[in-house]
Chains A and B, each alone.
Chain A
Amino acid sequence: MDLADTPEEREFRARLREWLAEALPALPPRPAPDDWPGRRAHDLGWQRMLYDAGYAHVHWEASASIRLIFLEETERAGAPYVGANFVGLLHAGPTIAAEGTAGQRARWLEPILRGEEVWCQGFSEPGAGSDLAALRTRAWRDGDDYVVSGSKIWTSHAEVADWCELLVRTDPSAPKHRGITWLAMPMDAPGVTVRPLRTLAGSAEFAEVFLDEVRVPAAHRVGDENDGWRVTMVTLSFERGTAFAGEVVACRRVLGELARTARENGRWDDPALRRRLGRLNAEFRALWRLTQWNVSAAEASGGVPGVGGSVFKLRYSHARQELYDTAADVLGPDSLDLDRPWTLDRLSSLSYTIAAGTSQIQRTIVAERILGLPKGR
């Protein structure tokens, strides 16, 4: 067991730190949360800077320890996270890299890395949330195209996306986990309608996407027809693996800011509050260690991140909510002011125990797939 950087890791960290110090002042200020075109431009601009500096591939090709160092250092420097590029960089990209043909990889991967194209995720449907395999959006073959009809929901970045990783049902008579196909759908195709959804935080972060006989070339199918569920599971394990690692570092930074704020406004004198902050420090320190542990274990066994990601996601999503609830106690009456960033963060943290598999689903996954308890009701 060792937590120290290897000479190679040390060198990567030092170079990155140096580059960040130089590059970040050139980055324009972050647009308002509601300004989607602005956020797209901002996030893609950052991706382009990473590309030019040789860091664009870090999520795909580097060792897991290098990826953690990248997340740690960019977060520490106050650099943006993947933002509007999230699905492309952490989801569709790895899927295409693992399951796509040479032609598909050549067509889609480079524009993601260069910060030219944004992807969104067309998985959830009004009748298929946590029970993802219950999806009903239909696609049937017509010549060289699939024709797609149905609707998707909770689709982040849909308004500014160029492509959608779309799960469709191609064989309605097959058992529900079979008969699903993974398609790359251009968002400007005729028949695609995007309707923004307002979140409880008041902003439009995601959308409904309606699909009315949208033609998607069969050449845009990644993996075999009716094999989309397997293709998807490959990337979901990734999403639950290291996708939140950068956020843990961010939470630790927020915790430090909370403590300093409490010292300034006098709340620090309350021992109960102080101890809650101490507990949260323990919590996020441990979550960071768990990330390092999971990543090292996956690397040592040469495998993709496994169900251990569910363990992490369960604990992290609750810890994040606890963090912002504690922030409210530090802020006092100011915590009701929507202009305070921590108030918005507190509201958005409410999605963490729901998005990417609810806590209840995660517990069932942990119990059945790790602990081997029988499937049941």
Chain B
Amino acid sequence: MRFHLTDDQRALRDGVRQLLARRFDREALWAAVAAPGLDRALWRALGEAGFFALRLPEADGGVGLGLPEAVLAFEEAGRALLPGPLIATHLAAGSVPGAATGEAVVTAVDGGLVEWLAEADVVHGGADRAPLPRPGEAVPLRSVDPLTPLHRVPGPGPGLGPDRARAGDPALVAVLLTAAEQLGTATRVCELAVQHARTREQFGQPIGAFQAVKHLCADMLVRAEVARAAVYAAAVTAGPADIATARLLAGEAALRSTRDCLQVHGGMGFTWESEVHLHLKRAWVRARRGGDVTDSEELLAADLVA
């Protein structure tokens, strides 16, 4: 057992982090919030860097890496709040022309919702193989996440119950990559909270010196680290029970830690200018993907008596 990052994996993670820092810094993030729309140049840059073709065999023009590497890349995407139908396009590399290189934007129907429908070149039935929306059927929502436009389409689509999930199923890969994004969020908001707690002073000292604030931050780290172990293990085994575990733990970490981060920021956290709400809203959007959380719980219950 060598359950830690290899040098190559570390280099890949650092490379993606640097690329995103260069191409999608905080200035670009707020510009995107102010003027929503998919940045095609950024999309092509991601394609050039191999983000979408990461798991495509080298013979087919891909990078030839595996799920663990994809998970590291999507964790970074989650950290950076990178917008766009990243997972659907990644899953379409090799089957939709232009997806691998970032020339095409591919989105998918998932749980009665479609992300980025108006900007997409191709719409897939999606992870849950839902029927494609017919013209006029997709109704735009006023999306809670300013960086994820959403359309509602008829039929919620089946979930990922014990009967449906099979190892290697693209639907499962989509769930795992979403968990990786949630992990990135959980890690990032812990950093933001700690940064704030170290510098913001009240009652004559940094608020991080107060035990109540410290303990909020400690719980955020614990959630992120437990989720990390679960997500990375699921990337190694690709087993349905491991992926369901990753989804539950990373989802919980993202949802609860974004709230705690907001709490640590106090009144500032409740303003539009603070980055915290963007993380929280994205975590909410991701939590709706890939069927209900209860499906994963049922799958893991069934696993106990299998």
Chain B nearest Cβ from A19, distance in angstroms: 21
C-alpha spacing A374/B209, complex, angstroms:
5
The stretch of A127-135, A204-212, A226-234, A277-285 that contacts the partner chain: A277-285
For residue B198, CB closer than 8 A to chain A, the reply is yes
Give residues in B with beta carbon < 8 Å to A.
Answer: 1-6, 9, 68, 190, 194, 197-198, 205-206, 208-211, 213-215, 217-219, 221-222, 225-230, 232-233, 235-237, 241-242, 244-245, 248-249, 294, 296-305
Q: With A1-B6, A282-B244 in contact, is A314–B205 under 8 Å at CB?
A: no
- Residues of chain B within 8 A (CB-CB) of A296 are 1-4
- Residues of chain A within 8 A (CB-CB) of B198 are 372-374
For residue A4, CB closer than 8 A to chain B, the reply is yes
Q: With A285-B230, A376-B209 in contact, is A371–B217 under 8 Å at CB?
A: yes
Contact: B249 with A373, CB < 8 Å?
Answer: no
Main secondary structure of the interface of B (DSSP, over half): helix
Q: With A282-B248, A367-B214 in contact, is A68–B300 under 8 Å at CB?
A: no
- Residues of chain A within 8 A (CB-CB) of B206 are 373-374, 376
- Residues of chain A within 8 A (CB-CB) of B297 are 274-276, 278-279, 282
Contact: B305 with A2, CB < 8 Å?
Answer: no
- Residues of chain A within 8 A (CB-CB) of B215 are 360, 363-364, 367
Contact: A289 with B1, CB < 8 Å?
Answer: no
Q: Of B236, B248, B300, which is in contact with the most chain A CB atoms at under 10 Å from its CB?
A: B300
Contact: A2 with B214, CB < 8 Å?
Answer: no
Contact: B222 with A314, CB < 8 Å?
Answer: yes
Q: Can you identify 8 A-B contacts, CB atoms within 8 angstroms?
A: A1-B232, A3-B3, A274-B298, A282-B248, A289-B230, A290-B229, A293-B232, A374-B209
Contact: A286 with B245, CB < 8 Å?
Answer: yes
| CB 8 Å contact bits of A334-377 with B (1 = contact, 0 = none) | 00000000000000000000000000101110111011111111
Further pairs besides A4-B1, A260-B305, A274-B298: 20, Cβ < 8 Å: A1-B232, A2-B2, A3-B3, A256-B304, A258-B304, A259-B301, A281-B245, A282-B300, A285-B233, A285-B242, A286-B226, A286-B249, A293-B233, A296-B3, A296-B4, A315-B226, A360-B215, A366-B218, A366-B222, A370-B221
Main secondary structure of the interface of A (DSSP, over half): helix
Contact: A282 with B249, CB < 8 Å?
Answer: yes
- Residues of chain A within 8 A (CB-CB) of B245 are 281-282, 285-286
For residue A260, which residue of chain B has the nearest CB?
A: B305
For residue A255, CB closer than 8 A to chain B, the reply is yes
Q: With A292-B229, A308-B225 in contact, is A274–B301 under 8 Å at CB?
A: yes
Contact: A275 with B205, CB < 8 Å?
Answer: no
- Residues of chain A within 8 A (CB-CB) of B218 are 314, 362-364, 366-367, 371
For residue A329, CB closer than 8 A to chain B, the reply is no
| CB 8 Å contact bits of A107-129 with B (1 = contact, 0 = none) | 00000000000000000000000
Q: Of A2, A289, A364, A366, which is in contact with the most chain B CB atoms at under 10 Å from its CB?
A: A289
C-alpha spacing A106/B225, complex, angstroms:
40
Contact: A364 with B226, CB < 8 Å?
Answer: no
Q: With A259-B304, A296-B3 in contact, is A373–B217 under 8 Å at CB?
A: yes
For residue A6, CB closer than 8 A to chain B, the reply is yes
Q: With A2-B3, A255-B304, A292-B3 in contact, is A372–B233 under 8 Å at CB?
A: no
Contact: B235 with A1, CB < 8 Å?
Answer: yes
Contact: B219 with A363, CB < 8 Å?
Answer: yes
Query: Which of B210, B219, B233, B294 is within 8 Å of A289, CB to CB?
Result: B233
For residue B242, which residue of chain A has the nearest CB?
A: A285
